[in-house]
């Protein structure tokens, strides 16, 4: 991705140097102007203008002729056009740095659903983040360290900007945000935390992590969440337990579109901590 930077502001000349326009062209802005003694009034006016107005801003000074037959005059319109391209390379993608083998980037709602259903009884942590979230960026190195020290846990990273529809359907309203899933219990806890409150993450990791075998398939997302995602076309109907085509049709008839459309629009404000 590239973006252009442009500045149309005029350039002012500082007291100790800069640019000015004269009959000789552009040169260094003098700190002392030698004028004839008979033009003391004009000299005082220039000095006053330099001392009070010439502070990095564009200023206008009236023509003052000297014995060298030149005038000190800042240009009425001096502009500098600057353009730079900022390429977001891999080096700038902080969310890809220091990641561990048990940290997986989720690319679609279907991938998230499948991952949660196929992990057995392992602890799964869903990490919702945004590239522009300062709290997410600050917390990322600690999450990577905890992932390294807990290799049995799986961390699924969800880019809110790339998967905004899914994230909003799951009622994610603040970033960074975490959901913990474990086996047949499905979602066991969810919360937002920062560096200052990282203890919440560590406590949840200690409570729901470790060797905790469970009997039965992993639950994953709640059925209501699966139905919602299926009705929005984010996942296939096969991902919803049983045959729920009729139930989805009933939800749509009862105004499910308003629930997922107007409802999401009302919940669209995102807080980043």
Active-site annotation, residues? 133, 136
Euclidean distance between CA atoms 168 and 17, whole angstroms: 55
| Alpha helical stretches, state H, the chain | 40-53, 109-117, 134-149, 164-169, 198-208, 223-231, 245-253, 256-260, 262-266
- Record the tokens describing residue 221, joined without a space: 């997302």
Phi and psi torsions of 21, nearest 5°? -110, 130
Cβ contact 141:132 at 8 Å: no
What DSSP character marks residue 98? T
- Per the listing, tokens 């905890």 go with 146
Between the alpha carbon of residue 27 and those of residues 11, 61, 64, 203, the distances in Å are 14, 16, 17, 66
Of 272, 273, 248, 246, the C-alpha closest to 260 is 248
Cβ contact 135:105 at 8 Å: no
- Per the listing, tokens 């009070």 go with 52
What DSSP character marks residue 76? S
CA angle 171, 175, 178 (to 5 degrees): 70
Euclidean distance between CA atoms 107 and 250, whole angstroms: 30
């Amino acid at each position: 991705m590239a973006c252009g930077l442009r500045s149309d502001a005029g350039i002012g000349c500082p007291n100790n140097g800069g640019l000015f326009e004269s009959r000789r062209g552009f040169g260094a802005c003098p700190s002392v102007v030698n004028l004839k003694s008979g033009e003391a009034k004009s000299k005082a006016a220039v000095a006053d203008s330099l001392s009070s107005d010439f502070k990095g801003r564009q200023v206008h000074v009236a023509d003052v002729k000297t014995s060298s037959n030149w005038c000190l005059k800042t240009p009425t319109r001096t502009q500098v056009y600057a353009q730079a391209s900022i390429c977001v390379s891999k080096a700038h993608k902080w969310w890809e740095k220091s990641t561990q083998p048990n940290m997986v980037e989720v690319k679609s709602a279907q991938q998230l659903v499948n991952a949660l259903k196929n992990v057995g009884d392992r602890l799964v942590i869903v990490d919702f983040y945004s590239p522009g979230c300062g709290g997410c960026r600050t917390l990322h190195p600690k999450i990577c360290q905890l992932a390294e020290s807990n290799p049995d846990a799986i961390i699924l990273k969800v880019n809110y900007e790339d998967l905004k529809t899914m994230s909003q359907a799951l009622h994610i309203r603040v970033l960074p945000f975490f959901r913990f899933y474990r086996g047949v219990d499905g979602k066991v806890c969810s919360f937002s935390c920062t560096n200052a409150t990282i203890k919440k993450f560590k406590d949840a990791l200690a409570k729901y992590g470790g060797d905790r075998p469970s009997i039965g398939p992993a639950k994953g997302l709640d059925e209501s969440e699966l139905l919602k995602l299926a009705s929005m076309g984010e996942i296939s109907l096969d991902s919803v337990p049983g045959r729920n085509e009729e139930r989805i049709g009933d939800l749509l008839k009862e105004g499910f579109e308003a629930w997922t459309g107007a409802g999401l629009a009302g919940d669209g404000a995102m807080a980043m901590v």
